[in-house]
Amino acid sequence: MQPSAILESALYVADLDAAETFYGEVMGLERIAKVPGRHVFFRCGQGVLLLFNADATRQPPKPDARLPVPPHGTSGQGHLCFAGTADEIEDWKVRLEGKGIAIEADFEWPNGGRSIYFRDPSGNSLEIAEPKIWGI
């Protein structure tokens, strides 16, 4: 038995407002939920990107919490990779650079497929890559 897909991925951010602006306006994701000071969630294809204030998610749920989600969280920079075609990656590179976002790396993988790497406002490492880097 194995899971059929990854449903959600989480990153931890220092500034939720800056993250909401970046992922909504720069990355073009649709915001689907928000609790000020705690989290903001975005739809991305068939999955969901969860952005959390790590300090807030380390707190245990209140006794009367509607959803008793256990504490979680981390600190430091994470990584997330978005899928894109070769043409889309080139378009993303132009878009990101046009918004003053530095491309840290841009290369072809030895087994085929291109990746570009850049950072969100909290320093998380983001990548856009062709799925074929993983044989998909």
Alpha-carbon span 46 to 83, nearest angstrom: 12
Would you state the pLDDT for residue 54? Answer: 85
Mean pLDDT per 10-residue interval, the chain, length 136 residues: 91 95 97 95 96 87 79 88 97 97 97 96 97 94
Would you state the pLDDT for residue 64? Answer: 78
Would you state the pLDDT for residue 17? Answer: 96
Would you state the pLDDT for residue 21? Answer: 98
Would you state the pLDDT for residue 8? Answer: 95
Please list, in sequence order, all residues whose beta carbon lies within 8 angstroms of the beta carbon of residue 84, skipping any fewer than 6 positions away.
92, 128, 129, 130
Would you state the pLDDT for residue 27? Answer: 97
The CATH superfamily assigned to 1-61 is 2,3-Dihydroxybiphenyl 1,2-Dioxygenase, domain 1 (3.10.180.10)
**Nearest residue to 82 (alpha-carbon basis) of 45, 110, 124:** 45
DSSP state of 132: G
CB 129 within 8 A of CB 81: yes
**Nearest residue to 92 (alpha-carbon basis) of 131, 126, 124, 123:** 126
Would you state the pLDDT for residue 33? Answer: 96
- Say what the pTM is: 0.92
Would you state the pLDDT for residue 32? Answer: 98
Q: Considering only the top CATH level, what class is 76-136?
A: alpha beta
Stretch(es) of the chain classified as CATH 3.10.180.10: 1-61, 76-136
Q: Which two tokens stand for residue 2?
A: 């194995």
